[in-house]
Structure 1
Amino acid sequence: MAAQEPSPPSSLEGNKPGFPKNILANHLEDKHLCNSCLKVLRRPLQAQCGHRFCCFCFHQLVSSGPEKCNACIKEDLFEEPTSILKPGGAFADNAARREVEALAAVCPNEGCTWTGTIKDFEASHEGLCDFAIILCPSCKELMRANEQERHDQRECPERALNCKYCKESFLLKDIKAHDEICPKYPMMCEGCAKKKIPREKYVDHIKFCSKCKAACRFHVVGCHTSVEKEKIPDHERQCSYEHLNLLLHFIMGIKVSLESLQPHSLEVAGHKLQELHQSLRDLELRMSQLGGGGASASTQDGKVAELSRRCQELELKVNTFENIVCVLNREMERSCSTMEASNRQHRLDQDKIEILSNKVRQLERTVSLRDLSIVEMEGKMKEMLAATYDGIFVWKISDFAKKRQDAVAGRAPAMFSPAFYSSKYGYKMCLRIYLNGDGTGRGSHLSLFFVVMRGHSDALLKWPFHQKVTLMLLDQNNREHIIDAFRPDISSSSFQRPVSDMNIASGCPLFCPLSKLESKNSYVRDDTIFIKAIVDLTAL
């Protein structure tokens, strides 16, 4: 049946890549990831090769034409034409979409406590979260959505302000530049100390203000005194002798300059005249040399005869080279024919190699699928061997020091135990441990949580789960076990009937101080600890 081409993403729900990985409340599975953006699938499409893509990612991949499936190439399963992604070569995978939308989700924005499913997140929370990181369209600064109003009004350097003097609008970053040109900006006269003079009237004020300082009229001859306008006449009367002396020196300097300028000009003119005479003599000499060239005509005829002889010799050599080129061309034609025959044979060999390679890849793919099935069966076997059916489970954690280091480094902060059951057809459960603590106990305590999982008999059981749970860190000398117990909060989603593989973990973030494990005691022995869980089944 031909694959039905999905419509291109045109609505808001289809023009986005996948959901971020940290949206999942539980562990992430590879089957829920887009093979293009490597995020959780949004509106999944399944290509002919079997790989899934977000609707937006698939249409972006094939927008410029058919593309090879990178996931097939990476898995070494490339096979034409199924591994070629092209428009119309994928169909909407509604089963995968329902599975993804039913996954338990948390808001990926730091500080937000919203929980629900991915479908609820997309429908009612995505894009509306107050803790979402958004970009200011003006200054390009990152901020939370609930801080946008305060940022726009108080912090954004690109926000608009109104000048309190001229009432014109300008950007905050241009406030200094505006103050320097604002016509209403208040200025102070340095002479009379009058304040709040508008800049547009400041020049007129300076012209008529008697207290403003002005330069002396004799500044052109060397008087650098500045005095108030009303005191200029007194200054000129008091300094008349100095002004006359400066004026005399100025006039004498001008006279000396004029006297030295005239001889110098005559000398320059005479020098230029000599240069012109020399240029004229050079031109006459060249003309005489050109006129005497007729005497060497016989010499030129001899040179022409010598050149003709050399041309004939070159023509003979050219004919010889042409013959050699003809022979080489015939050899080249024979070589080209041989090369074409070799190329045809090479293409036939390449086709055979490609056919054999395809068969090898098909066999390898079959073998890899068998290997995956075997590994899956082995995992189920191990899970069945480790499972208990009486509500009591003892979890042995070996290589404790290495796993503790991995938790501190963040490589593997959490570990899940094998599943155990309250009875053969009862509740399915497991434990989750943080060796370096989680939440309020991070870095200081060992955190231990209880997880309700989806089981085969959930439809026959009573929900919500309400049995008492006791968690223990066993003292291997059987002296002083560390024990904590709780009764489930039946209103919590952690104890409702699971809609995914497992519910959100619930338990004790401050279960055991790490100092107790690091001190000399019998909780850690032979690099191994034992965790015990007891589910009270008396109510059942």
Structure 2
Amino acid sequence: MQAGYSRDVFSSGFDTKFLCNYCGNILRDPVQSYCGHRFCRACIQGLVSSGDQRVQCLQCLTEGNADEEYSFINQDQIFPDMAVKREMSSIESKCVNPGCSWKGNFKHYEAHFKECKYQASPCTQCGNLITASKLNDHMKNECPMRRVKCKHCNAEVVQQDLDTTHQNECPKYPLKCDSCGKKKITREKMQQHIDKECANQKIQCPVPNCEKHITKVDRNKFQNHVEQKPGLHIVHNLEQVTAISEKVAQIVAHLENTQSANNAGVITELRSKVQEQEQAIRTIMTTGGGGGGSGSVAGGADVGNMMQKFQALEIKTGTYEGIVTTLHREIERCITAIENMERQRQQEREQVNNDAEKIKQLEAKLHMKEVIIAEHALKISNLETTVYDGNLMWRIPEWTKKRREAVSGQCTSIYSTAFYTSRSGYKMCVRLYPNGDGMGKGTHVSIFFVIMRGNYDALLGWPFGHRVIFRMIDQGQNGNHLIDSFRPDPSSTSFKRPTSEMNIASGCPLFMPLSKLDDPSVSYVKDDVMYVNVCLDISEGRRNPALDPGTGPDRSLKSK
């Protein structure tokens, strides 16, 4: 349930009586408290259910009536204000949604507002309020939380993260090498470029006895460095090849026993090192052996042995090249399958989230419909039990529960449905105190008669003058009904024309002793149900001068 409507809904202005005394907005489903002030139904129900035992009307406090008993709001003293609701329904109103040009009577406003295409609703992705007509375009083209594809790696990411978080992580994002200035190098290949390709990167000679082992030389000058002392570098490479050959033999033996895919990376690394050493040796061999001194002579003597060992290493390496290639293909296939599964899981998660949001919206709509159905059922029930002959038979079920609540102070009184002397006659109801009120509190059942504000009060004679008869029905075979009655006091405000929803009640505080309810000779309560009959002596009292052809100032005109 919602609070009041926006004040902008009435395009041509409005009376302040249409404002809720709690939220300050235009009344939504207006009700009136016993003090005569008006509230939205949701606002006043929120007040009385706040947990405070006694809640005072804020307008009464403002007007200086804080000490009056009627300034306290009770659940059983709140009544619909149909007069104000009808008056509001004919006022010219407009839609408050930006961009909507609808205008019409206020009674059609609620129906229009529910279907207005300019009504703002929250985006399911970012939560911002967007009009219904623009929601689809917003979610596709403007929402910061929509998912888009990265133009570099084709991965789906959130729009607001595309130029920040993802840009700093995207493996395909083009970068520029700070050393050589080369552009459009993907992030995933940048480290390889720095380690293997960048000409301006300084590398260190691996030969321990070389003077460049301590200092570093530019990659584009490293070949000249090797050519200066080829023998020294050939001997070092030979030692490295021998050591690698022994490691490869050990790893191959271990791989034959375990057949573990985890060794594929080690074999690949070793094979890469062997190829690098092979390339280095061939480069040195093609450049000649001059300028190496004694190192050059020693290197020339061992070239034959080195080539024989290298050829044997090539044969062993080639044997397992096929195995390594097969393992690589299998790993790539597994990685592709995992990526596909992850994308499918992401799509399923998004679908689940969308379905959950739709379920929430449907549950909210279902709750609203249940509230409307309950209100309609209550109205239908009231219409079915309403009588128009001044004779009310009031059935009071669950008497034990109502009596217990009255004793504990939870609900001291109960109201009957409204009944009438005729279709255009006085509107009345009955108020009963199960544990008594006033002089009869705690000892008697008290019953009071209440004059309510009706639609035809202007046509009726005032003060109210019909004799009121109360009967407590004996449901046993004896028919020993308890009867009491009174005639209205013309000077009492209880029987004058109502200025609020209902007048002050008047009746019999000592209607029935509580001790008599337990008398076995009578059955005033049977199956936890009590019946009270209230009837008016229509033959006595004032008639309706506007509707009775036998009375009133126009009697002579009607006789013609």
TM-score (norm 2): 0.35
Structure 1-normalised TM-score?
Answer: 0.36
